[in-house]
Amino acid sequence: MPRFLKQFLILAGISALTTESRGQCGAFISNLSDTIPACKNTKVQLDATINSTGTFFKVLDTVWTPATGLTNPNIINPVASIGTTSQGYKLTVHALTANNFVTNGNFSAGNTGFTTSYVVGTGGTWGLLSLEGTYGVSSNPNLLHTNFSSFYDHTVGTSAGSMLVVNGASVANVNIWCQTITVVPNTTYDFSAWGASCTNSSPAILQFAINGNLLGTPLSLPSTTAQWVQFHTTWFSGNNTSIQICITDQQTAVSGNDFAIDDIEFREVCTVEDSTYIAVTNMQPQISQTVNLGCLSDTLNVQAQNNGGDVPSQYVWDFGDGTGATTANAQHVYPTQGQYTVKLVTKKNNCADSASVTIDTRHPLTIAAASDKDTVCAGGSVQFSNTDNGTTALNYSWDFGDGSPIDNTSGPSHVYSTAGVYTVTHTVTDQVPCSDTTQLTIVVQPGPTATFLASDSVICQGTSINFQSTVTDGFKRLNWNFGDADSIQAITQTMHSYDKAGDYTVTLTVDYPVCPSAIVSKNVHVLPIPKVYVGRDTAMCPNSGPIPIYNHWTNGPDVSYLWNTGETTQSIMANAVGIYWLKASDTLGCTTSDSLEVFRNCYLNIPNAFTPDGDGNNEYFFPRQLLSSKLVSFHMQIFNRWGQLIFETFSTSGRGWDGKFNDKPQPSGVYVYMIEAQIEGAPVEKYQGNVTLLR
């Protein structure tokens, strides 16, 4: 910051001020409102402009105070970052007056208007400035010294311009340029001058002073020639009314130390100030809320609070479920439990602020009841349990459905003494209070019973005995065990016979899904039966005489016999073919019987037709296939109706006649056969008859 600002700027209280101008420089500040409304935590563009009545030279600098929150306090249009409080700013502009108090500062009038301890150059080997401690005014240094660089002045930069060209002396503090100027006491002035090196060795070190007092720090010119650099500082006049400004060179080298000076200016500094106040709208909304929980819905009451901030002009509520309100205090009913974000937006002066809270209306009440069994036998116990869940303490209720008192424990047990189907009602209640109910069904089965009746308790071997049971319904398995390694299941009525005599225990076992098994038994005495076996079926030949048939077993004297022939002896003689049976009975009433069949074994069964048509059935005429015993000799002849022998065989193993003669099929008709056959152990038998050939 320039020294004069450090010395003279005093921050005044921020208020709505009109532009203040000092120094009569013709500058003024516009477009800066006394009050700028703003929302908190925003950015405000300060749009001040500097205008002129046409009399000031240029703006020297701009300063905003305080610098708090500004992007750059030294530019005319910074951006202010505003927090939550209002802020005032003052803009101070320093400008230079149009009047340059230095006479002939650009040397356009030649070497007039100033005094110097140097002498005007009059010539030499390299030109007018061949000697140290000489000067001249020219548009180009090279015109005054052939070793000086060629360049133009700082003012116009062409050959039309002029500059002070100096061949520096080898003694320091020799006045190069001085001028006496009248000043106004207690006024700030701006002083500046431009310098450039004419040669690149031993650049000059220029020192500036007012009334012998140094101004700023010496200006060391660059070694690069033709490069103009500025000396600039400000000066406060104090009590002075007249001053002398002088420029000296602190470089003492003989070689080099050649330079040019141009555009020496001494101007009065004027100050312009203006202020603005950024008025921040700072609403500080807060939400105060209460929630009244219900069973079917939950009610929210909210109140908007300002917390010491600005009072809003508008309220907008969002209850998080798609509904809202526009009053400061509001009530809302949530039909569904959940977690909701309630947001309040307050508005004023085109500003908005917000606050939010999370509302949790979840208070779920879930009920779930269970039992260790759903079917029990009368007198059995059922253990109940629950997995009820709630957000508050729970109260329980159990109604067992059988008229017993209500149980209020969490997991009771209960004994059902009477068979039936019971509905158990479980109710749970939380602290809202809300309730829920669930039901279980318990089936209580009657105690098992089982009995059975037997048609007899003493039976004969092989005789059936009937059993009829009476059991309680609902069994899962019913089993009869007859005591002889035989059993049967799933039927309530059955019969059984015993192959062996003896004493047997018949047991009925009825199993139930829940109730214990019912078991009942009865004893059965099985009596032995008489033994009868008349042998295997046999055969007889005609005219061969009767054959004996008899019981191959021996029974006691208490056994009587009866043949189907009416005979009562243990054996008989069979005179004819047929079935013969024998029944034996004892004195206890037990009977048994056996039978055999006597076959005729000494004849042929000769077919009366055959069909040799190639279908594989009944293709040959040969009675040997139907013999009832072994054939040891055989002779068969076939004659047609004219008595011609058309087939003859002596073979006992052939197929017989195939209906052909000399390998030619014979026509359908009746043919005559003559057969002589001998059965093993029997005489030769002769047969003659007709056989029909069918096609």
pLDDT digits (tens, 9 = 90+) for 46-88: 999 988 776 666 888 899 999 999 999 999 999 999 999 999 9
pLDDT digits (tens, 9 = 90+) for 606-640: 788 999 988 888 888 887 544 445 677 889 999 99
d(CA 34, CA 30): 11
Asked if residue 267 lies in contact with residue 96, where contact means CB atoms within 8 angstroms, the answer is yes
User: CA-CA distances (angstroms) from residue 311 to 35, 40, 250, 282, 328?
Assistant: 20, 14, 70, 9, 11
Q: What is the CATH number of domain 119-267?
A: 2.60.120.260
605 pLDDT more than 70: no
**Predicted model pTM:** 0.49
Domain at 609-693, CATH from 2.40.50, 3.40.50, 1.10.357, 2.60.40: 2.60.40
d(CA 239, CA 261): 30
Q: Identify the three-state secondary structure at position 538.
A: strand
pLDDT digits (tens, 9 = 90+) for 645-657: 999 998 877 778 9
Structural element, H or E, at residue 8? helix 3-8
pLDDT band (50, 70, 90) for residue 9: very low
Q: What is the dihedral of CA 414, 415, 421, 424, to 10 degrees?
A: -10
Could you confirm whether domain 369-445 is CATH 3.40.50.970? Answer: no
Mean pLDDT across the stretch 466-482? 87
pLDDT of residue 14: 31
Mean pLDDT across the stretch 19-36? 72
Q: Where are the domains of the chain?
A: 3-97, 119-267, 283-360, 369-445, 450-527, 538-600, 609-693
The residues, any chain, with a CB within 8 Å of residue 339's CB and separated by 6 or more, are 358, 359, 360, 361, 362
Task: Decide if 119-267 and 283-360 have a common fold.
Answer: no
Under CATH, what is the fold of the domain 450-527? Answer: Immunoglobulin-like (2.60.40)
User: CA-CA distances (angstroms) from residue 593 to 309, 529, 553, 583, 588?
Assistant: 124, 10, 12, 4, 16
CATH-assigned architecture of domain 538-600 = Sandwich (2.60)
What is the maximum span of the chain, computed from C-alpha positions, in angstroms?
198
CATH-assigned architecture of domain 283-360 = Sandwich (2.60)
100 pLDDT more than 70: yes
